[in-house]
Structure 1
Amino acid sequence: MQLTRGKMLGALATTAVAGSLAGAWIGLPGGEQARAAAGSGADEVVVAHADDALPSVTGTDWVTHADQVAVVRPTAEKEIPASAEEKEAGEGYIGRSATLSLERVLWSRAGASAAPESVTLDVAGWTFKGEERHKFAVHDAPRLEQGHTYIVALAHEDDGSWSLLGSGGVLPYDAGTVGNGESEGVVHTVAKADKANRPLSVAARAGAQSDKSLEEQAQGRSAEALVSLLNSAKPEPGAR
């Protein structure tokens, strides 16, 4: 899923934003508003819900729609300037692209195109009003920031490009632990699960077919535990 300017502005303009912390309301084009949901002052993060083109939350979603799953590290990013209309209005959205280096491929769909060494994707950027800007994030999804590690589900598009499967297709993975690291622009620390590197039980692997999120099932564990969940999940027949 490419987080294009249109998708970002759509998420900002049409969605109620999660969060209850006191903070400034950010003016948006067309008079709509979103609330800063984390941090304070310049550190606030504007968090909005966005619709994904494909489901990306469960193990079934990943093995049905993803082509490659890999551990990645953002190695470069580039700011995408606001439009002329937004600059004139003095408020709007500043985009961002990030280059992700693939450190290790964890899972591949049978017959999928080979994973690239790196991908450059449009990711969440910033909102701005006047001289003030705030990080923008999609609800319950990482922004993909440098200095952190992630597990991502990638889909190979018909035009040959690669995209994120969806907002649920990116998991924090700092220090080799699922759920540990940056999400929504905030760094989270999760406890490492007991025997995190051991194979999951039969009962746990059976949960891969449930509607629980993949992150919830693998949280606190290693990439190997997540792979065992993917290997136990069954793709939806005919979905591709």
Structure 2
Amino acid sequence: MLTLGGCSGQGAVTAEAQEFFPSSTAEDWVTYSDAIVNIHVKREFEIPPSSDELEADEGIIGRNVSATVKEVMWRQPSRSDLAMPRSLDLGAGGWVFHGSERKELRFSGSPRLEPGHDYLIALAYTTLHPTGSGTPAWIPIGGQAIVPNDSATIGKGEDIARPGALAKSLQGRPTTDLVDKIRETAPDPKAKGLLDEPASVRRTAVQAAS
């Protein structure tokens, strides 16, 4: 689900997206992610609007990016046997168009994933693929689980508004400090005994117990 907001000072449109999992805190990352990786975004691709949008002369042009997995920084111990791909294709906003006018579409609290930059990202291997297919895929647990990470420094690179609590608390610190924080953080106790299950199962258990 996508809710469009207003324009920023740069003429971009900010969107609020319904996310699969909480992603702001270290506990969220440990509870729902299966791996934390350092990626380098190589290039972006436009996704054409639908025929209905073209006929209406307004709608959304989607955007995907292709990224190389530079390093696996952390694995969920009970799911460390999952094979990690060498590259990832990720949805990353796009553009809102009306006639010949185009405005950049961004997701609130999440970086746009610009080519040439590095990011730290918490991933889950789950069937809740953004396309709605039933094939398991590696996806970000949420927008706040994607953190700029140029020069192995948290928050360095692309500038974003409203970073998650974990990223904000470690702004300007080495990547290793965030990884250390993850290693010393316990998962949500309501997911106890389920860390070898897919993230969707953990989320259902946490919601049911809350």
For residue 235 of structure 1, the aligned residue among 187, 191, 201 is 187
State, as a whole percentage, how many aligned pairs show the same letter: 36
3-state DSSP of counterpart to 1:49: strand
- Which residue type is aligned with residue 137 of structure 1? R
Partner of 1:190: none
For residue 169 of structure 1, the aligned residue among 125, 135, 145 is 145
Q: Unpaired runs of 5+ in structure 2?
A: 128-134, 192-201, 203-210
Partner of 1:69: 36
* Residue 51 of structure 1: how far off its partner (Å): 2.4
For residue 125 of structure 1, the aligned residue among 94, 110, 113 is 94
TM-score by length of 1: 0.71
Partner of 1:136: 105
Aligned ranges for residues 19-168 of structure 1 at < 5 Å?
A: 35-39=6-10, 44-112=11-79, 113-158=82-127, 159-168=135-144
* RMSD between aligned residues: 1.6
Higher RCO by CA contacts (8 Å cutoff, separation 6 or greater): 2
* Residue 76 of structure 1: how far off its partner (Å): 2.5
Name the CA distance, whole Å, in 2 between partners of 1:38 and 1:233.
38
- Which residue type is aligned with residue 228 of structure 1? D
* Residue 11 of structure 1: how far off its partner (Å): 1.7
* Residue 150 of structure 1: how far off its partner (Å): 0.6
Name the CA distance, whole Å, in 2 between partners of 1:93 and 1:183.
23
Name the CA distance, whole Å, in 2 between partners of 1:162 and 1:93.
24
3-state DSSP of counterpart to 1:181: coil
3-state DSSP of counterpart to 2:189: coil
* Residue 141 of structure 1: how far off its partner (Å): 0.8
TM-score by length of 2: 0.81
* Residue 223 of structure 1: how far off its partner (Å): 0.8
| C-alpha distance after superposition, 1:21-70 (max 9, x if no partner) | xxxxxxxxxxxxxx21131xxxx211122221210000000000001101
* Residue 102 of structure 1: how far off its partner (Å): 0.6
Greater CA radius of gyration, 1 or 2?
1
- Which residue type is aligned with residue 237 of structure 1? P
Name the CA distance, whole Å, in 2 between partners of 1:127 and 1:146.
20
Partner of 2:206: none
Tell me if the contact between 1:126 and 1:136 (Cα under 8 Å) persists in the aligned partners: yes
* Residue 179 of structure 1: how far off its partner (Å): 1.0
Partner of 2:177: 225
* Residue 238 of structure 1: how far off its partner (Å): 4.4
Name the CA distance, whole Å, in 2 between partners of 1:235 and 1:114.
22
* Residue 160 of structure 1: how far off its partner (Å): 2.6
> Structure 1 residues 140, 38: closer, same or farther in 2, change over 3 A?
farther
Name the CA distance, whole Å, in 1 between partners of 2:35 and 2:9.
32
